[in-house]
Structures are given as structure tokens and as C-alpha cells.
């Protein structure tokens, strides 16, 4: 299971990793079981997770102080993720947008979302093909709500300025996500995933990517239909919510530009155009190619020595697209930076597990590490701080689409092909309450964004974080039967 999946899974039930040998005579379902920790002497914690390799230090050695190396390593991997995302992954996306001529929200929903989800994909692939692990609807919902509520909340909380969001990317991505999730629910109901069901989920992602090719045309056609039916539906673009009320429908479709803004309403972003250009130029100057030259000041020299173990391997293996001569290798930069993201994330989770094992807290520290090592969180916050609010939102929802239409079904499909089209066992326990929770959180997210007048700011950030805390509370109450799901059986 991926790092965020392990830590952020909606806690419903634990299942044994059983697969189905055949469906010729019957259709067995996964057998629920309780995971027990073998008895140990007081003060000792067993090593129950075989996912990670053996540590160089024994439990006693770590408790005598060597665990500090693991803690430092966790923090260092967090810095490493920041460097590789900020200096290589995000700039490579910028070059991709320039080369392909696609909009920022499309790039965020596809290339950015897929790129940062690929490490998770390979983790799930190894889990299915090697460990024969199955999946539960709880893990899908937990990961999805984290990407939407927590990630968007942190983007709003840490963005440098108020960012204006637009309605189309949110409407487009949420619609496709609902389509994929409804299909996933239907396929989960019988506790097995057939090969053709996996193919249908992958086809949904192909449809999503194909739709992006006609994103501008679809957006314009949809707006035209809305303007023709103003008596039933009124659509306000993100940037026009603030100013004086202009009677809707006076100018028809011609009164709106290609971004959905009313031409009769002044746009605050236009008034700040020159200021934003200056800021962009200043930020562009900061994004310089990485250099291994020895700096002049003492402070920069200390920083140089601290970051050298990170920068040196990145400088040797990843072409820096800030350098004009290296821009033509943007595909290599994109691919290799994804590889480094996977390496840093897994190292951080491994050392977090060792720290939790040392102090007898097997779950709290890995949860915290998952939140900080999650590429979805880091990349979204980085682009939000660069002023790209729509990219942050689209990449979060697009990441969920990639997870349920690629990261999950492709390993299932490969497993079926390898084992003679044998279906894969999945867990539908808690599917009703999990689905209802997800739909409610998506609804609250949309309501919150509209209530904040399509602005990504601190208020939206706090609202999203409070909703995520509410989701965690409800999940825990479901786990411990404080709330009993009215439909799901035992």
C-alpha cells in the first residue's frame, strides 16, 4: 500500500490478503479477520511490518539514542522532496505546457496529477503482483478525501496571496471523478474485480485524457448552453463574484470571454496586471539553474553544505530545464524527478516506521510522515504559492481520478492476465457509509469554495482543514461502532 494509503485509509475493517483461485464453482468473498500483535514483554515492540527492510540498528540500539539518525533522515527527506519538486518536477511541467500549448489547469489535472501518482502506482503494483494484497473501499475514500480536503486546505493556508479560482476545472474534474467512483462502487459490490471491469475503469481515464484535448471547445459549448437557459441555471465565473450586480443575460453569450468572465464586470486581476507581471518576473529570476559553485557568504556556505548530498545526485541525474540547453530534455527531467520523488517518499516512510517502532507508536508517526512526504501535498502547495490556484485544485482532483482509473485497475488487470483471467478479491465492507461520506465531503468542498466567492485564501484553507478533521472523527466513530452504518452488514 502506498504511503498515504497506509496512513490515511478510512478505518473500517482489516482483511486478510486472500485471492481467488477460480470462479468456476463459486464466488468466495474475502474473510474478515482481526490483525493481532503477538505477545511481547513489557516495553518491547515487535517488527510486524515486513514491507520495509531490516534496520542497521537493533531496537535496543535505537532506544539508546541511534533513533536520532532516523528522525534526522525523515526531516532530510522532507527537504529533499521540496527540492526535487520545486527545482525539477514543477519546472518540467511548465515546459510541457509550453511545448504542448495546453492550459495550466489541464496540465495540473493530467501531467502533474499522473506524475506525482506514479510512485503510488508502482507501490500498488508490487503489492498486488508480489504480496497479492487486496483493496478496500475505505482506503480509496480515505486517500481521496485527503487529496481534496487536506491538500486544498493546506494550499489555501500557505498561499502567498488570494488566488482566484474558476468554475470550469472544478466542474470538469469533479464530474469525471464521480463517473469513475460510481463505476468503482458498482464493481466492488460483489467483492471481486473482473478483468473487464478493470478495463472499463482504465477506459474512463482514456476518455478523461481525450476530453482534455477538446477542453476549450467543451468549455465554450457548455457555457453557451448555460447562457441559453439562464432562466434555469445561472453561472457566475470565479472572478466576477465580488463586484456590482449586473443583470444576467443582458449581453448573452457574447458578453463573456473565454475564461467565463463577464466583460461588463471589472476583474480585480486585470487591475493588478502590471503588479502580477512584476511578481512573475521576480519569481522567474529566482528560478535559476542549480549551481555547484561555492557561495560567497557564510550563511549560503552552510546551506550549500547541508543541501549538497541532495543537490549533487539531482544535478548529476536530472537535466535542469532552467538551463536553456537542457530544456529539450524536459521529458527526461519529468520522468527522473518522478523516480526521485518515489525514492525520497519511501525512505521517509521507512524511517518513520522505525521511529514509531522504537517508541511503541506504530501508527502515529507514519501518519504524520505520510502527510509530509505525500507528493500530492507538496506539489500542490508549491504551485499554490506560485499563484496557480486552479492547478492546485485540478491536480488534487485529477490525482484521485488517476488513482481509481489507473493505479488500482491496472495492477488488477495485470494480475488477472498473469493468472488466467482470475478475478481479484476486493473488500466492499463499509461501502455505503464510505461512499456517502465521500459525496458529502465533495459537496461541502464545492459549497465552501462558492461561499468563499471562488477565492483560495486562509478562510478556505481553515474550512477545508476543519472538514477533514470532521471526516476523521466520523471515520473513527464508524470504526469503533459509535456510529453504526444502517445498511452495511457484518
CATH classification of the domain holding 148: 1.20.1420.30
| Residue 12, pLDDT score | 42
Q: Do the bridges between strand 455-456 and strand 163-164 make them parallel or antiparallel, or are there none, so unpaired?
A: antiparallel
End-to-end CA distance of the chain: 24
Counting every residue, how long is the chain?
490
Total tally of structural domains belonging to the chain: 1
**pTM for this model (two decimals):** 0.76
Other Cβ atoms less than 10 A from the Cβ of 61: the count is 13
User: pLDDT by residue (tens digit) across 142-166?
Assistant: 888 998 999 999 999 999 899 999 9
| Residue 365, pLDDT score | 54
Q: Specify if 455 maps to a domain.
A: yes
DSSP 3-state of 163: strand
Q: Which parts of the chain sit beneath pLDDT 50?
A: 1-48, 232-233, 235-285, 489-490
| Residue 370, pLDDT score | 60
CA-nearest of 197, 177, 183, 113 to 390 is: 113
H/E element, 121? helix 113-129
| Residue 111, pLDDT score | 93
| Residue 198, pLDDT score | 94
Q: Specify if 289 maps to a domain.
A: no
Q: Specify if 204 maps to a domain.
A: yes
DSSP 3-state of 273: helix
What does the block give as the cell for 34? 482481526
Helix, strand, coil percentages in the chain from 3-state DSSP, rounded to 5: 65, 5, 30
CA-nearest of 195, 199, 187, 197 to 417 is: 195
Contact 441, 149 (CB under 8 A): yes
d(C-alpha 335, C-alpha 382), whole Å: 19
| Residue 140, pLDDT score | 83
d(C-alpha 81, C-alpha 382), whole Å: 11
The single residue listed with the C-alpha cell 539518525 is: 69
What does the block give as the cell for 157? 493556508
Q: Produce one character per residue of 259-286: b if its CB has 16 or more CB atoms within 10 Å, e if not.
A: ebbbeebebeeeeeeeeeeeeeeeeeee
Residues 6+ apart with CB under 8 A from 254: none
Number of H helices, E strands in the chain: 21, 4
Q: Specify if 293 maps to a domain.
A: no
User: pLDDT by residue (tens digit) across 308-356?
Assistant: 999 999 999 999 999 888 999 999 999 999 999 989 988 888 888 888 8
Q: What are phi and psi of 159, to 5 degrees?
A: -65, 145
| Residue 5, pLDDT score | 44
d(C-alpha 366, C-alpha 362), whole Å: 7
| Residue 293, pLDDT score | 86
| Residue 49, pLDDT score | 52
Q: Specify if 34 maps to a domain.
A: no
Q: Specify if 129 maps to a domain.
A: yes
Contact 192, 425 (CB under 8 A): yes
The domain in which residue 183 lies consists of: 3-15+77-208+328-479
d(C-alpha 345, C-alpha 377), whole Å: 12
Say which DSSP state 146 is in.
Answer: I
Q: Specify if 239 maps to a domain.
A: no
Q: Specify if 379 maps to a domain.
A: yes
| Residue 228, pLDDT score | 77
Amino acid at each position: 500500500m502506498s504511503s498515504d494509503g497506509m496512513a490515511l485509509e478510512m478505518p473500517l475493517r482489516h482483511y486478510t490478503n486472500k485471492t481467488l483461485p477460480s470462479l468456476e464453482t463459486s464466488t468466495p468473498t474475502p474473510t474478515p479477520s482481526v490483525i493481532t500483535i503477538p505477545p511481547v514483554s513489557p516495553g518491547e515492540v515487535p517488527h510486524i511490518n515486513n514491507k520495509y527492510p531490516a534496520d542497521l540498528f537493533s531496537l535496543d540500539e535505537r532506544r539508546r539514542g541511534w533513533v536520532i539518525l532516523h528522525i534526522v533522515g525523515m526531516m532530510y527527506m522532507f527537504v529533499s522532496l521540496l527540492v526535487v519538486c520545486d527545482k525539477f518536477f514543477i519546472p518540467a511541467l511548465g515546459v510541457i505546457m509550453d511545448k504542448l500549448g495546453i492550459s495550466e489547469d489541464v496540465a495540473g489535472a493530467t501531467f502533474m496529477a499522473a506524475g506525482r501518482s506514479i510512485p503510488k502506482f508502482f507501490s500498488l503494483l508490487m503489492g498486488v503482483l508480489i504480496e497479492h494484497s487486496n483493496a478496500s473501499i475505505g482506503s480509496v475514500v480515505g486517500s481521496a478525501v485527503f487529496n481534496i480536503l487536506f491538500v486544498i486546505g493546506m494550499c489555501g493556508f500557505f498561499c502567498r496571496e488570494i488566488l482566484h479560482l474558476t468554475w470550469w476545472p472544478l466542474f470538469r474534474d469533479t464530474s469525471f471523478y464521480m463517473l469513475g467512483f460510481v463505476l468503482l462502487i458498482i464493481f466492488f459490490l460483489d467483492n471481486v474485480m473482473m478483468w473487464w471491469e478493470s478495463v472499463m475503469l482504465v477506459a474512463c481515464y482514456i476518455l478523461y485524457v481525450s476530453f482534455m484535448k477538446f477542453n476549450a471547445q467543451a468549455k465554450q459549448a457548455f457555457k453557451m448552453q448555460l447562457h441559453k437557459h439562464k432562466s434555469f441555471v445561472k453561472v457566475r465565473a470565479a472572478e466576477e463574484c465580488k463586484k456590482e450586480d449586473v443583470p444576467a443575460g443582458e449581453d448573452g453569450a457574447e458578453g463573456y470571454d473565454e475564461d467565463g468572465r463577464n466583460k461588463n464586470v471589472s476583474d480585480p486581476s486585470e487591475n493588478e496586471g502590471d503588479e502580477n507581471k512584476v511578481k512573475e518576473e521576480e519569481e522567474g529570476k529566482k528560478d535559476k539553474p542549480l549551481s555547484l559553485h561555492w557561495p560567497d557568504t557564510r550563511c549560503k556556505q552552510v546551506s550549500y553544505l547541508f543541501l549538497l548530498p541532495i543537490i549533487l545526485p539531482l544535478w548529476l541525474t536530472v537535466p535542469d530545464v532552467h538551463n536553456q540547453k537542457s530544456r529539450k530534455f524536459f521529458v527526461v527531467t519529468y520522468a527522473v524527478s518522478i523516480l526521485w520523488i518515489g525514492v525520497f517518499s519511501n525512505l521517509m516512510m521507512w524511517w518513520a516506521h522505525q521511529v514509531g517502532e522504537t517508541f511503541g507508536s506504530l501508527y502515529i508517526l507514519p501518519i504524520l510522515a505520510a502527510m509530509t512526504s505525500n507528493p500530492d501535498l507538496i506539489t500542490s502547495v508549491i504551485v499554490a504559492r506560485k499563484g496557480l490556484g486552479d492547478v492546485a485544485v485540478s491536480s488534487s482532483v485529477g490525482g484521485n481520478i488517476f488513482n481509481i482509473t489507473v493505479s488500482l485497475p491496472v495492477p488488477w488487470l495485470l494480475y488477472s492476465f498473469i493468472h488466467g483471467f482470475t478475478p481479484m478479491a476486493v473488500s466492499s465492507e463499509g461501502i455505503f457509509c464510505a461512499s456517502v461520506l465521500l459525496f458529502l465531503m465533495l459537496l461541502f468542498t464545492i459549497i465552501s469554495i462558492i461561499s468563499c466567492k471562488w477565492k483560495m485564501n486562509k478562510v478556505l484553507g481553515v474550512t477545508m482543514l476543519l472538514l477533514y478533521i470532521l471526516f476523521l472523527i466520523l471515520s473513527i466513530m464508524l470504526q469503533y461502532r459509535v456510529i453504526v452504518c444502517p445498511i452495511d452488514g457484518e
